[in-house]
């Protein structure tokens, strides 16, 4: 039982609890309505969020299953709508906005905002935010990695009116739809989202009827105060202090090699917390930049992971202060391209995981795999009318090892844990593709006393198609998923293409746009596993053997990464045994040499890689060297940066 704390509530505890739960139920009802009527398959797979706001635009409640990445941004877009339409709003109005430069995320996330009136008094807003399938721009799905500014990216929607006093403004809606590759779905999603906001209006007015306007509006304030109190209480119970870390984006497409640092210094003082991004790189020549709203969202999402039980609303944000240098990769301004903001976003989230892991070791976690998106589009030549197709897909991967527990296997990326992966049978019906493989990738997990979760590999063939192009949006081909507390990184990765009729793979890496593809081309992409937690030489050999039996780990890497020597007795019967003596010797050998390996001359490592003596897993896990994975050439600046992190997170924890 928690002890009594000072409460400043003016509502009685029962009314308060009822209203608090009703606000959340209301938002969950919006989600249910959206899921069941949406058109965008991105929304259908749960890339959406909903919120209820007070009359000032602050968030009162977010849904239980909303995607993480929209957290901490919905109040911004609501406030922007208020700024533009204040004094000019009426019941039945609905506004749209997708502006990342006004606190949104990226163009694809289109928010519909409805003012809610009790008679003639504005009492709040409901907002429904969904990822539309296309917003125009230079490539299908609106993700052009080479975009330097927003003009290649798609349609920027500053606040505008989509419904006026209940009347659908089809002129405006049609203009928006006409700027996309999927106009019919866009109109469908506008209706779906507008109805979701109306469902919230109905519910809020029902509460007003029952409890009275004053109690409800007071409840909307007090649920925010409640969350604020709970967070401040937890913060004040923690020791004051400062924590620092750095994570990287692979590179600036417009510059030479060398990773792009995002630096964070976190300071807890009393019941306040400050995140300072001073020292982070300036904006880069690709869409992998983040505007301030999205950066704030990443901070909140990372921190919320350590407060999983608290409801989300603006009360959570009140004790958080964020400072970032102007025009940095985490603080981009119009018109810098930001559609790939999820790349800095996940770096920030994982950095926050790392710092909070020191504060709450019972919830500690190593780095999670990086999200990836494949977008291919063109004409589907299987059908006589050759319709436009858009193949847009993301894969799950492994999360970081934990304190006393292996990382979560094959799970959605950390930016959006609610997101679902897509069925292959659905892909094959809708798009001219055939999947030949979708399975767990052996040895993808970062070794550790508690290994990372495993990633997957998906391989597909393009069937009859015309004018098809492909884009791939990923990262951590170089800033490889890291381990902590002596744990090892997982794996570098990128997309490989086997041209129709040819035998050899072409390495296309983890970031490219508008690449022409033809019928019969086969493309394969793995996702990384999570980083390891703790020294892999301390992993229980029995656990390593179980992983070998399930083919999560190969016999070879059981030996090289864990120093565990296992003999196969009868594979059919899953019978193996550990050679205890050989294991001890092997572990002693690794222990004696591993620090030298991690500091070996990178050119020697490059030579061994090129000659086939070692592979890319050896290069990152044992030699801490980052190469151009196609040519085997050393990337000197990148390697220096990678080694600096490896020394801190891994080597320093070895005995």
Q: Of 79, 213, 229, 608, which one interacts with other proteins (CB under 8 A)?
A: 229
17 counts as binding other proteins under rule CB under 8 A: yes
H/E segment holding residue 201: helix 183-211
Q: How far is the CB of 204 from other proteins (least distance, A)?
A: 13
CA-CA distance, 63 to 24, in Å (whole number)? 6
434 counts as binding other proteins under rule CB under 8 A: yes
Is the CB of residue 290 less than 8 Å from the CB of residue 325? no
Strands (E), 137-240: 160-164, 167-168
For 519, phi then psi, to 5°, come to -55, 135
CA-CA distance, 58 to 40, in Å (whole number)? 27
198 counts as binding other proteins under rule CB under 8 A: yes
Q: Which of residues 438-457 bind other proteins (CB under 8 A)?
A: 438-440, 456
Q: Of 90, 179, 211, 234, which one interacts with other proteins (CB under 8 A)?
A: 234
**Measuring CA to CA, which residue among 335, 332, 248 is closest to residue 295?**
332
Q: Which of residues 44-63 bind other proteins (CB under 8 A)?
A: 44-46
Collapse the DSSP code of 118 into the 3-class scheme (helix H, G, I; strand E, B; otherwise coil) and give the result: strand
436 counts as binding other proteins under rule CB under 8 A: yes
The 10 Å Cβ neighbour count of residue 222 is 22
Residues near 217 by Cβ (< 8 Å), separated by ≥ 6? 54, 55, 123, 124
Residue closer to other proteins by CB (options 101, 226) is 226
Please tell me what DSSP assigns to residue 570.
E
In the block, residue with structure tokens 């004409």: 379
Residues near 2 by Cβ (< 8 Å), separated by ≥ 6? none
Q: Which of residues 238-267 bind other proteins (CB under 8 A)?
A: none
Among the candidate windows 336-344, 544-552, 580-588, 601-609, which touches other proteins by CB under 8 A? 544-552
CA distance readout (Å), 48 to 127, 190, 311, 398, 416: 11, 13, 17, 23, 9
Q: Which of residues 323-362 bind other proteins (CB under 8 A)?
A: 353
Q: Of 265, 363, 379, 607, which one interacts with other proteins (CB under 8 A)?
A: 363
Residue closer to other proteins by CB (options 419, 479) is 419
**Residue 95 C-alpha from the chain's centroid:** 27
Residue closer to other proteins by CB (options 87, 384) is 384
Among the candidate windows 193-201, 472-480, 598-606, 607-615, which touches other proteins by CB under 8 A? 193-201
569 counts as binding other proteins under rule CB under 8 A: no
Long-range contacts: 359-362, Cβ < 8 Å, 24+? Answer: 359/238, 359/243, 359/268, 359/306, 360/306, 361/403, 362/403
589 counts as binding other proteins under rule CB under 8 A: no
H/E segment holding residue 340: none
Structure tokens that stand for 418 in this block: 């609610």
Q: Of 47, 99, 203, 561, which one interacts with other proteins (CB under 8 A)?
A: 203
Q: Of 503, 572, 581, 596, which one interacts with other proteins (CB under 8 A)?
A: 572
Is the CB of residue 532 less than 8 Å from the CB of residue 488? yes
437 counts as binding other proteins under rule CB under 8 A: yes
Concatenate the DSSP letters of all residues of 598-617 into one string.
TTS-HHHHHHHHHHTSS-HH
Q: How far is the CB of 628 from other proteins (least distance, A)?
A: 30
CA-CA distance, 595 to 574, in Å (whole number)? 35
33 counts as binding other proteins under rule CB under 8 A: yes
412 counts as binding other proteins under rule CB under 8 A: yes
With CB under 8 A as the rule, give the number of residues binding other proteins.
Answer: 94
Q: Of 188, 261, 520, 632, which one interacts with other proteins (CB under 8 A)?
A: 188
Q: Of 36, 383, 595, 610, which one interacts with other proteins (CB under 8 A)?
A: 36
Q: Which of residues 66-125 bind other proteins (CB under 8 A)?
A: 66, 68
The 10 Å Cβ neighbour count of residue 388 is 13
Residue closer to other proteins by CB (options 237, 655) is 237
Is the CB of residue 628 less than 8 Å from the CB of residue 477? no
Output the CA torsion 290→292→296→299 (10° steps).
40
Q: Of 57, 100, 103, 396, which one interacts with other proteins (CB under 8 A)?
A: 396
Is the CB of residue 295 less than 8 Å from the CB of residue 105? no
Q: Of 74, 116, 177, 230, which one interacts with other proteins (CB under 8 A)?
A: 230
Q: How far is the CB of 152 from other proteins (least distance, A)?
A: 27
Q: Of 10, 64, 158, 327, which one interacts with other proteins (CB under 8 A)?
A: 64
Among the candidate windows 319-327, 467-475, 572-580, 647-655, which touches other proteins by CB under 8 A? 572-580
Residue closer to other proteins by CB (options 7, 323) is 7
In the block, residue with structure tokens 């019967």: 573
Output the CA torsion 571→577→583→584 (10° steps).
180
Q: Of 95, 107, 132, 226, which one interacts with other proteins (CB under 8 A)?
A: 226
184 counts as binding other proteins under rule CB under 8 A: yes
Q: How far is the CB of 305 from other proteins (least distance, A)?
A: 6
Binding mask 278-307 for other proteins (x = CB under 8 A): --------------------------xx-x
């Amino acid at each position: 039982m928690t002890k009594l704390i000072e409460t400043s509530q003016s509502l009685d505890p029962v009314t308060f609890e009822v209203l608090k739960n009703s606000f959340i139920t209301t938002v969950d009802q919006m989600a249910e309505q959206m899921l069941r009527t949406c058109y965008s398959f991105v929304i259908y797979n749960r890339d959406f969020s909903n919120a209820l706001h007070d009359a000032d635009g602050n968030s009162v409640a977010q849904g239980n299953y909303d995607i993480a990445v929209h957290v901490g941004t919905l109040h911004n877009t609501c406030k922007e709508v208020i700024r533009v339409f204040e004094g000019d709003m009426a019941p039945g109005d609905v506004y749209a906005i997708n502006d990342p430069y006004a606190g949104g995320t990226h163009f694809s996330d289109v928010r519909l905002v409805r003012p809610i009136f009790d008679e003639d008094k504005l009492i709040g807003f409901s907002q429904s935010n969904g990822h539309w399938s296309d917003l125009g721009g230079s490539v299908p799905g609106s993700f052009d990695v080479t975009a330097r500014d927003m003009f290649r990216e798609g349609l920027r929607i500053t606040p505008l009116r989509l419904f006026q006093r209940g009347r659908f403004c089809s002129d405006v809606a049609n203009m928006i739809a006409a700027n996309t590759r999927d106009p019919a779905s866009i109109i469908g999603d506008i209706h779906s989202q507008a109805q979701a906001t109306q469902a919230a209006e109905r519910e809020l007015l029902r509460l007003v009827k029952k409890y009275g306007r004053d109690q409800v509006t007071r409840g909307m304030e007090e649920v925010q105060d409640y969350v604020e109190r709970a967070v401040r209480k937890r913060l004040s119970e923690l020791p004051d202090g400062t924590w620092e870390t750095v994570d990287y984006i692979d590179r600036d497409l417009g510059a030479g090699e060398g990773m792009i640092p995002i630096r964070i210094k976190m300071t807890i003082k009393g019941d306040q917390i400050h995140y300072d991004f001073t020292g982070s790189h300036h904006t880069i020549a690709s869409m992998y930049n983040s505007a301030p709203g999205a950066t704030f969202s990443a901070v909140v999402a990372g921190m919320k992971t350590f407060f999983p039980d608290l409801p989300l609303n603006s009360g959570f944000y009140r004790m958080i202060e964020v400072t970032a240098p102007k025009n940095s990769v985490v603080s981009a301004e119009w018109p810098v391209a930001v559609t790939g903001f999820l790349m800095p976003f996940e770096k920030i989230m994982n950095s926050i995981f790392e710092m909070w892991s020191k504060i709450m070791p019972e919830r500690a976690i190593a780095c999670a795999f990086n999200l990836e998106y494949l977008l291919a589009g063109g004409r589907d030549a299987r059908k006589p009318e050759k319709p436009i197709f858009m193949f847009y897909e993301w894969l799950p991967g492994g999360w970081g090892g934990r304190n006393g527990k292996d990382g979560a296997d094959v799970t959605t990326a950390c930016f959006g844990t609610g997101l679902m992966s897509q069925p292959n049978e659905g892909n094959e019906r809708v798009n001219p593709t055939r999947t030949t493989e979708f399975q767990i990738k052996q040895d993808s997990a970062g070794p550790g006393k508690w290994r990372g979760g495993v990633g997957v590999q998906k391989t597909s063939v393009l069937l009859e198609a015309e004018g098809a192009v492909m884009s791939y949006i990923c990262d951590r081909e170089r800033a490889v998923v890291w381990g902590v507390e002596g744990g090892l990184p997982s794996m570098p990765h990128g997309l490989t293409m086997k041209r129709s009729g040819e035998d050899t793979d072409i390495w296309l890496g983890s970031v490219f746009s508008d690449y022409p593809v033809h019928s019969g081309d086969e493309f394969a992409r793995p996702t990384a596993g999570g980083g390891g937690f703790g020294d892999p030489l301390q992993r229980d050999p029995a656990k390593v053997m179980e992983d070998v039996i399930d083919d999560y780990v190969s016999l070879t890497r059981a030996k090289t990464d864990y120093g565990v020597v296992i003999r196969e007795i009868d594979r059919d019967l899953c019978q193996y045994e550990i050679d205890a003596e050989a294991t001890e010797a092997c572990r002693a050998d690794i222990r004696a040499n591993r620090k030298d390996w991690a500091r070996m001359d990178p050119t020697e490592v490059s030579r061994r890689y090129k000659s086939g003596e070692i592979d890319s897993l050896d290069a990152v896990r044992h030699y801490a060297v980052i190469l151009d994975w196609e040519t085997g050439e050393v990337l000197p600046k990148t390697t220096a940066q990678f080694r600096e992190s490896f020394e801190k997170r891994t080597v320093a924890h070895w005995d």
